[in-house]
């Protein structure tokens, strides 16, 4: 399999690992409240996973794979458009999660923010698995059967540029 696809599959397994931690974290908030021992620390680790791995994964897909594949399949409708929309929705939920966590960390309105954080966590947990399934079941096989080696080289080049740009931002 094309190494870029292997890497995307690997990143999906990491995202699934994050989802397991996220579900455990929100369950603890519901059980013990945000003031439970180590609860906020656990949530802050999850935030780090999301901000690091998950968001850079999205960026790599959006800046490298999607544009090259978008020359073969319409990207204003169909799978690419739908996946981009889900990325945007995820980013909104992630902001909601971050805002709630930051408020809890500063000791504000515990119950209300705890609920917002759990809602965002639940919504992320519902959004991401079918999203990953669509990419792995539809988009990646499409890319594998459609893209020529020279196009994969372009995906790899765009990918390194995206990684480099992120390091300097």
Of 100 and 158, which has the nearer Cβ to Fe ion? 158
Distance separating alpha carbons of residues 30 and 25, to the nearest angstrom: 9
Taking the complex as a whole, how short is the minimal distance between the CB of residue 140 and Fe ion, in angstroms? 9
Residues 110-169 that bind Fe ion (CB under 5 A): 135
Taking the complex as a whole, how short is the minimal distance between the CB of residue 21 and Fe ion, in angstroms? 18
User: What is the DSSP track for 80-118?
Assistant: HHHHHHHHHHHHHHHHHHHHHHHHHHTT-SHHHHHHHHH
Of 94 and 135, which has the nearer Cβ to Fe ion? 135
The closest of 158, 96, 99, 161 to 127, measured between CA atoms, is: 96
Taking the complex as a whole, how short is the minimal distance between the CB of residue 79 and Fe ion, in angstroms? 12
Residue 64 per-residue DSSP state: I
- Biggest CA-to-CA distance, the chain: 55
Of 36 and 126, which has the nearer Cβ to Fe ion? 126
- Residue 94 sits in the site that holds Fe ion (CB under 5 A): no
- Residue 86 sits in the site that holds Fe ion (CB under 5 A): no
User: Where along the sequence are the contacts to Fe ion (CB under 5 A)?
Assistant: 135
């Amino acid at each position: 399999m094309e190494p870029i696809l292997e890497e995307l599959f690997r990143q999906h397994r990491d995202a699934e690992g994050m989802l397991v931690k996220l579900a455990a974290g929100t369950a603890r908030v519901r059980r013990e409240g945000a003031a439970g021992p180590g609860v906020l620390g656990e949530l802050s680790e999850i935030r780090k996973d999301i901000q690091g791995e998950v968001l850079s994964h999205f960026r790599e897909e959006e800046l490298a794979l999607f544009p090259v594949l978008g020359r073969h399949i319409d990207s204003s409708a169909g799978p690419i458009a739908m996946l981009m929309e889900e990325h945007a929705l995820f980013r909104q939920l992630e902001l909601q999660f971050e805002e709630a966590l930051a408020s809890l960390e500063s000791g504000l309105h515990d119950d209300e923010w705890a609920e917002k954080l759990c809602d965002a966590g639940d919504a992320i947990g519902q959004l991401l698995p079918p999203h990953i399934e669509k990419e792995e079941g539809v988009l990646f096989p499409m890319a594998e059967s459609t893209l020529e080696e020279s196009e994969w080289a372009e995906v790899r080049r765009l990918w390194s540029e995206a990684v480099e740009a992120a390091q300097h931002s």
